[in-house]
Structures are given as C-alpha cells and as structure tokens.
Structure 1
Amino acid sequence: MLAYVLRRLAILILSLLIAAVVLFVLLRLLPGDPANALLSVGADQQQIEAAREQVGSNLPLWEQFLRFVGSLARFDLGTSFVSGKPVIEEIAARLTVTVPLALVGFGLAVMIAVPLGIVSAVKANRWYGAAISTVSQLGIAIPVFWVGILLVTVFAVNLRLFPSGGYPRRGWQNEGQVLYALALPVLTIGLVMAASLIRYIRSATQDVLGSDYLRTARALGASFSQALIRHGIRNGAVPIVSILGIELATTLLGAVVVERVFALPGLGSMLLLAIEQRDYPNVQGVLFISTLLVLLIGFAADLLQRLIDPRLRERATGAAP
C-alpha cells in the first residue's frame, strides 16, 4: 500500500508539472503583453520597457518558464498587478468563502442523496420510488443559476427570510452573519448536486440488490436490511466514492456561477475579475490552485476507495492475480 501511495504522489506531482506547462503556454498565447496591465494610456517606450522588465515579459520564453516553475515550487504565485498584494494572500482570503460554500453544499447534497437514492432503488416499484427518480432527473436538467434565482425569489424577495446576496465585510469574524449569507448559496449547491448524486446512488444500489453475495446472505438467514447494511453498503460505496470526488471537484470549479448569482467574493469571482482586468498573476494563481485542489480531491478519493475495498489494496500491491 505504501508503494502505491508513493506512486500516486509521483503521478500527482507530474500532473501538477504538466498543468503548469499548459497554464504557462495558454497565458502566453493570449493577445497582448502582460505588461500592458501596468501601463496607462499614452505610455512612452521607456515606461513600456520598464513595465516589461518588471513582469519579466522581456525575457526569453524558456527563462520565463523556469522562473515560473521555480516560483511555483516555492509556492510563490507572484503579486497582483491591480492590488499590489501577494496573489497567495488574495487566494487564501477568497478560499474562506469558496471552500465552506462547496464543502457544506456537498455535505448537504450527500445527506439528501444517500437516503433518497437508496429508497428509489429499493422501492423502485412503488410510486414514491418512481417519484424520487423523476424529480432527480428534472433536477439534473435545471441550471444551477436558475435554482439560485428561484430560491432568491422565494426566500429573499417574497418571504424575506434570507439576504438575496452579499457577504459580511468582516468575514468569519462574525460567524452568524457569514452562515446567514451562505444559507441560500449552500442550499442551491446542495439541491443541484443532490439531483445528480441520487441517480448514481440509485444505480449503485440496484447493482448491489442484484448481486450474488446479497442473495447468499439472505439465504443464510439474514434479513433484507441486515444483508444490505452488512454487505451491500460497503460494496456499493466503492464506485460512489469516485463519483463523490468528481462532484466535489466540479462544485469547487463551478462555484463561480453561484458566487456570481449571490455576489460572493469567492475564488470564482476572483478569476472573472482578474480576467476582466487582465491581472495575469491572479489568473494563473487561481487556475493553479484550482488544479491543485482537483488533483488532491482525486488523490484522496482514490485512497479512500482502497481503504474501503480490500480487493483494490491487493491489486495495488500485486497480491491479486
């Protein structure tokens, strides 16, 4: 198992390096010079050269790339052209919005999807099992921004129970206000993600219900509930863990839509603002951190699968045929 973990860590580092190369190339393919973001209209040649030297765009591409990778290795993401602050500090401040939003929304989705997905599979022939499946299919087709707008209309405009958007200036210094502000965004993410997860959990549960080991457990005298809890849930959880990892990564990357609907100062909003302002350090910093988070989630999901299923551990160590 240790050898497998080390191998996966090596793959993770290699993936980060490849992502850094792709990110570097894509940003250099954009029209214009990054130094233009520092210049005002009518700048003379001397000012242009000084700006290019400041951002390093006057260097050969290979030297720019080495400096870029070296900075990433030190976890130095540069300084924002607009604010003049270190990019890592701005990202850290934005993550205090995006990470709780994604994680709590993800947790809410799991709490909704797991029982409903199991019920829709076990009671597929009952009207409520079919109703759960139908509603989840409709939920998948509805855009997340529409759900957010609908919740704002109902709970903020009509009922006036929650704010329609915004975020406290003092941030987590006032936890009550933060939780109040994140209530509708979290509910939006939770409902949309739950609709997708119900389908996967229903499918995994149906596979378990038709398995030989569940029928064997029933033949040995276990009740349906005992057989499902003791044998079915663990086996059904293996593919679900992979799906949960993908869904969590998608939520982190797709939080930009929810953040825009509710005017939240998260990582997605930072990326859109940086693109509008041509703030290249912020753009590459947000994209790199987003890539790192996605890779870490995939790494954690992969390890969790092997902790749940001994067969995967044996396959990883070469013990299985």
Structure 2
Amino acid sequence: MIFSYVLRRLIILAVSILVASAVLFLLLRLLPGDPANALVSIGADPEQIEAARRQVGSDLPLPQQFIQFAGGLMRFDFGNSFISRTPVLPEIGARLSVTVPLTLGAFLLAVVLAVPLGIIAAVRKARWYGGLIAVVSQLGIAVPVFWIGILLVTLFAVQLRLLPSGGFPARGWQRPEAAITALILPIVTVALVMAASLIRYVRAATLDVLGSDYLRTARALGASFSEALVRHGIRNGAVPVISILGIELASTLLGAVVVERVFSLPGLGSMLLLGIEQRDYPTVQAVLFISTLLVLLVGFAADILQRLVDPRLRGVIGSRP
C-alpha cells in the first residue's frame, strides 16, 4: 500500500543523505590545500599550522574525520565560521529566509504562467497564438537568467523607478513590505526562465493526452471537449509534469546563486560564493549539505505526489510483495 511505499522511500532518502554526505566529505578533502590554512597567516611557523590543524580536526585520520563530520551533521552542528567565529547554522537560517521565499515564489509564479499557457499552446497549436507561445517559450530557454534580470532592473528600477534594483532590508522580514518589494524582480526573473521550460513540458503532456484513447472514448460517450479534458486529461497529463516540477524546483534552488548575485541578495548562494572566496571551510561544507538535503527532499515529495495523483501507480505499489 501507499504507506509501505512511503516507508521504503524514507529509507531510500536516509541512505541517499548518507551517501551524499560521504561524497561531499570526500570531495572536499580531495581539494588541494588544508582547511587549517584559512586560520593562519602567510609565513606562519609549523607550530601555528599544527595548532590550526588540531583546531579544525584535519590532523586526524580520514575515517575519524568522517565520524566527526557525520556526527555533526546528525546534530545539525556545522561548526563555527573561520571568518566570523560564530556558528554556521544560524547564519544559514538567516540566508534561507531569503533563498526559500525567492525559490518558492518563483516556482509558484512559473506554474501559474506555464500550466495554462502550455495547455493553450497544445489545444490551439494550429492557431497563431498557440504557435507564438511555443516559439516564445523556446526563446526563453535560450536566454540567460542574468540577462533577463539585467533587463528587468533597467526597465523597472532604472527607467520607471517602480522597484529597487537590488539588496535586501537589513531588518529582513521584520519589514515584510520592504522584503517583498525587494524580492519582486528576482522572483519574476527566475519565474520567466522556469516558465519557459515548463511550458514545453506541459504542452507535450497535453498533446499526449489529446491523442489518447480514453479522451476519445469520453468524447464518444457525450462529454464535451473541455469536460473530457478537465475530468480525464489533466490528471493523466499531470503525472509526467510533476516529476519535471520537482526537477525545476531543485535546479532553481541550486541556481539561485546567479540571481542572488545579480540582485545583491544575502541568500544561500551568496553565502556559498563568499565562503569559497574566503576559504571558509565550515561555511562551504554546511551550505553544500543543506542544499543537497533540500534537493533530496524535493525529489522525495515529487515522487510521493506522483503516486497520490495517478491511481495506476498506486495499483502498482499495492501489487508489490
């Protein structure tokens, strides 16, 4: 049943997190240089370097380092930043308060735009506006997200002076109107690029539905075209689109670094870039792990949602031993 499937998926999710943690640990240790070098100045003597290695734990054997690393992850203890000397986790929480609203807002706006436009592009493919939607969506995929951001800033911030060109209020969401205003242009920028991609998938899924036997059967039984499409077509067409939505949401979360750079937003992506520039090892490690965890959770949610939407998949689940 669905409960047993969810339980299996949870086990797979836990194993995936463990494997991702191990891969992250190994990749960071394969990078040239010692993380302790970020704590010492140029020309430091061997005693200072050794003391720094003991402080960050890089003097320990690799298996022991991984045990400490995994233990810290289980407690959500990512250590202290080499630069600010403060715990990394509260800083990540503050940065997520920018990245998560940006990602979710762009995702919701893209879905609102892409679903009806994709359906129109499929149902009215022989009309000029159906073809225009398909062409514009294809062009939207080819346009870099930072270029769209620059165009929106030039139009709405520089020329019309309706919205800020970048930045985020120092008090954050304590001033919600200022925070929302600061995120409007970044959200629209990401949503336009995401919607261009989603329109193609929605259009393709709708075309498959339009050529299906069950839709023709519903029409033969007296249902109107719109009634047959709404009652029988949308649910079946939604199944492949849901998996794409999960991929798009995850890629948007990971790709937010570009938009945050364009609009000078203090989000998770900016924190990662700053950590890399400053060789702040705990910060880079924590941001990569949190990003990986969020992507895995998005994939898990999309997979469960597919089973809930499609009765055929629920039947397959129930028939398994």
Aligned counterparts of 1:160 and 1:94: Cα–Cα separation in 2: 27
CA deviation vs aligned residue, 1:166-213 (integer Å, no higher than 9, x gap): 110000000010011111000101111000000000000000000000
Shift of 1:41: 2.3
Aligned counterparts of 1:85 and 1:114: Cα–Cα separation in 2: 44
Give the corresponding residue for 1:237: 238
Give the corresponding residue for 1:266: 267
After superposition, the CA RMSD in angstroms is: 1.0
Give the corresponding residue for 2:103: 102
Q: Are 1:62 and 2:63 counterparts? A: yes
Give the corresponding residue for 1:222: 223
Partner SS, residue 223 of structure 2: coil
Aligned counterparts of 1:53 and 1:118: Cα–Cα separation in 2: 60
Q: Are 1:121 and 2:112 counterparts? A: no
Paired amino acid for 1:163: P
Give the corresponding residue for 1:140: 141
Shift of 1:114: 0.6
Unaligned segments of structure 1, at least 5 residues: none
Q: Are 1:86 and 2:102 counterparts? A: no
Shift of 1:42: 2.5
Distance 1:319 1:218, change over 3 A: farther
Shift of 1:47: 1.5
Aligned counterparts of 2:289 and 2:153: Cα–Cα separation in 1: 32
CA deviation vs aligned residue, 1:142-182 (integer Å, no higher than 9, x gap): 00000001111111111111111111000000001001111
Partner SS, residue 82 of structure 1: coil
Give the corresponding residue for 1:187: 188
Give the corresponding residue for 1:15: 16
Aligned counterparts of 1:99 and 1:126: Cα–Cα separation in 2: 38
CA deviation vs aligned residue, 1:221-279 (integer Å, no higher than 9, x gap): 00001000000011111111100000000100000000000000000000000000111
Partner SS, residue 169 of structure 1: coil
Partner SS, residue 166 of structure 2: coil
Aligned counterparts of 2:26 and 2:183: Cα–Cα separation in 1: 36
Q: Are 1:318 and 2:300 counterparts? A: no
CA deviation vs aligned residue, 1:70-123 (integer Å, no higher than 9, x gap): 111112111111111111111111000000000001100001001100000000
Give the corresponding residue for 2:293: 292
| 1:275-290 correspondence runs (5 A) | 275-290=276-291
Aligned counterparts of 1:316 and 1:278: Cα–Cα separation in 2: 47
Aligned counterparts of 1:88 and 1:8: Cα–Cα separation in 2: 27
Give the corresponding residue for 1:37: 38
Question: Percent identical across equivalent pairs?
Answer: 72
Partner SS, residue 125 of structure 2: coil
Give the corresponding residue for 2:51: 50
Unaligned segments of structure 2, at least 5 residues: none
Aligned counterparts of 1:170 and 1:311: Cα–Cα separation in 2: 49
Q: Which moved more, 1:77-86 or 1:291-300?
A: 77-86
The number of residues matched between the two structures is 320
Which stretches of structure 1, 4 residues or longer, exceed 6 Å deviation after superposition? none
| 1:246-265 correspondence runs (5 A) | 246-265=247-266
Give the corresponding residue for 2:154: 153
Paired amino acid for 1:317: G
Partner SS, residue 284 of structure 1: helix
Shift of 1:319: 5.7
